[in-house]
A and B are shown apart, each in its own frame.
Chain A
Amino acid sequence: MVGRILQFILYPLVALAIGVFFLGLARKITARIQWRYGPPLVQPVIDMIRLFYQKSVSHGPVFAVGLIMSLAGSIVVVLFLPFGSICPLSGSGGLLVVLYVMLLAPMGIALSGGQGANPNISIGISRKLILALGYEVPFLLVLLTVMTHYNTISIVQVVEAQRDIGWSIASLPLFLSGVSYLLILPAMLGFRPFDVSTAPQEISSGPLVEYGGKYLLMATIEHALLLFIDIALFVNLFLGGAGNPIIFFVKMLIVFVLVLFIHAAFPRLRIEQAIRYLWKWPTALALAGLIIVTIGRS
């Protein structure tokens, strides 16, 4: 019982630590690809300490409540994702819960931005929601394919099934779905070429424009948890999860570095180009994967 309570407290902290490490790694690797030395790996932590001590001004009650809502949503999703052998809340219906609660994070940011009343926020939020519309279609198809193939909606059971028959992405019916998930992963994480919603040069970092001090700190924590969630979900569904947290972390690291290379090498797409891409290749692959799995079952 004590161990279970400890898991509830420690697991989100571990997820946050991994997310912040990924943020630092992103800045360092991007710098090295651009032939710079780059900041120290702990630079996001220094930034977060600075933001914690900085004064900030609220634009109204919803300004803070929206952020707290998205943060809470992210922490709940983290608790539902198995991390190696640690899975505090993965009951029977993990995948469906994750699917619904994942929407809380962008909704909370949108709610909070509405109170900020800055035109850049409105543009950023509309771009973020349009982009979400773009990647949710292939994402839902991919999850539907996985649920149909393994005949379960529990992430733990998906991981256990892969222990016997090998990784999903290496097996034939789910290969196309895995590739589709990899193709939409930069859009889900808000990385280039899909960082339209937080473009600093166009719309002054979009939804984040009015955040400073502790609000920006909360937004940074939320982003770090988002990195953890999306990559952990991919590792669980397609790379076979892992028996212990360390191997799981190594798998996450490999996927993240792969996404990072795309981030460092590609310029930003416009929003309609992003939608055209997202509804063409990843959706087609996901649909083909779903059809193959359905035919194979009947």
Chain B
Amino acid sequence: MDRNQIAKWFKEPSKMANKYSLHAIYFCTGCGIIEVPPVITARWDAERFGVIPVATPRQANLFLITGYVSVKTLKAIIRTYEQMYEPKYTVAFGSCPINGGMYWDSYNTIKHLDKYIPIDGWIAGCMPRPEAIFVAVTHLWTLIDKGMANGYERYKKYYRAYRRNQELALGKLEWPPLYPIGEHTEGGECD
């Protein structure tokens, strides 16, 4: 911990604590799982910065999605994201969640993950080096400092649109809406 930041700790304890205690839940959908162990073990040791993996979404506040997202996995990703407690941050790792990557013409993968859940940070590359996770974390720190890592607020604000996109991809969702969405969306009024 930096001594220069003690004043900031007293001013905004919640923001500072969120920065330096990112408990990550890893969603390793296809590739990308092999980049995570060097980061959390002796080679690069992410625990120096307070980033540790946890086993359940209830305890986590950083959601790391690595690799391509198939339609079937999207369902699990949405459910995991909705189980996390606010404030929560999302980082998509690899080019496939950004624009489909090498699966750009696949019938069974999601091309733009941002349409379904809000993403706070992207790491481009196929695959990115493990150090890229630190780049993402430091970038997330700046975003949290400036109040720009507000994906969970966007999710709440535009939940109707997100829910509509999710239903377009997955068909009828078998879980109730996380936030109230009004009576309009029920009958498939959206074009």
Task: Show the binding face of A for B, using Cβ within 8 Å.
Answer: 27, 31, 34-40, 42-43, 46-47, 49-50, 52-57, 200-201, 204-205, 208-213, 216
Contacts and interface: CB of A to CB of B under 8 A. Distances in A.
Contacts of A52: 17
B5 to A, nearest CB: 12
Nearest to A216: B59
Nearest to A205: B55
A84 to B, nearest CB: 30
Give the top 10 A-B pairs by smallest Cβ distance, nearest first: A212-B58, A53-B14, A49-B17, A200-B55, A50-B17, A50-B21, A204-B55, A36-B45, A205-B55, A47-B21
B59 A34 contact: no
A34 B42 CA distance: 7
Contact of B14 (A34, A36, A43, A49): A49
Contacts of A54: 61, 85-87
B56 A209 contact: yes
Contacts of A42: 1
Interface string B39-70: 00110010110101011101101000000000
A52 B54 CA distance: 17
B103 interface: no
Interface string B17-54: 11011010000000000000000011001011010101
B18 A53 contact: yes
Nearest to B86: A55
A53 B13 contact: yes
Helix, strand, loop or mixed for chain B's interface?
loop
Contacts of A209: 55-56, 58
Contacts of A50: 14, 17-18, 21, 61
Contact of B58 (A31, A38, A211): A211
Contact of A53 (B17, B47, B52): B17
Interface of B: 1, 13-14, 16-18, 20-21, 23, 41-42, 45, 47-48, 50, 52, 54-56, 58-59, 61, 84-87
Contacts of B48: 36-39
Nearest to A39: B47
Nearest to A54: B85
B50 A211 contact: no
Q: Which of A27, A31, A43, A210 has the most CB of B within 10 A?
A: A43
Q: Which of B20, B45, B58 has the most CB of A within 10 A?
A: B58
Q: Which of A39, A47, A50, A56 has the most CB of B within 10 A?
A: A50
Q: Which of A31, A53, A56 has the most CB of B within 10 A?
A: A53
A82 B44 CA distance: 43
Contacts of B21: 43, 46-47, 49-50
Contacts of A40: 1
Contact of A36 (B13, B18, B42): B42
B177 to A, nearest CB: 15
B143 to A, nearest CB: 16
B103 to A, nearest CB: 29
B142 to A, nearest CB: 18
Contacts of A49: 13-14, 16-17, 21
Contacts of B52: 39
A36 B56 contact: no
Given A47-B17, A54-B85, A57-B85, 17 more contacts: A31-B47, A39-B47, A39-B48, A39-B50, A40-B1, A46-B1, A46-B21, A46-B50, A47-B21, A49-B17, A50-B14, A50-B18, A210-B56, A211-B59, A212-B85, A213-B85, A216-B58
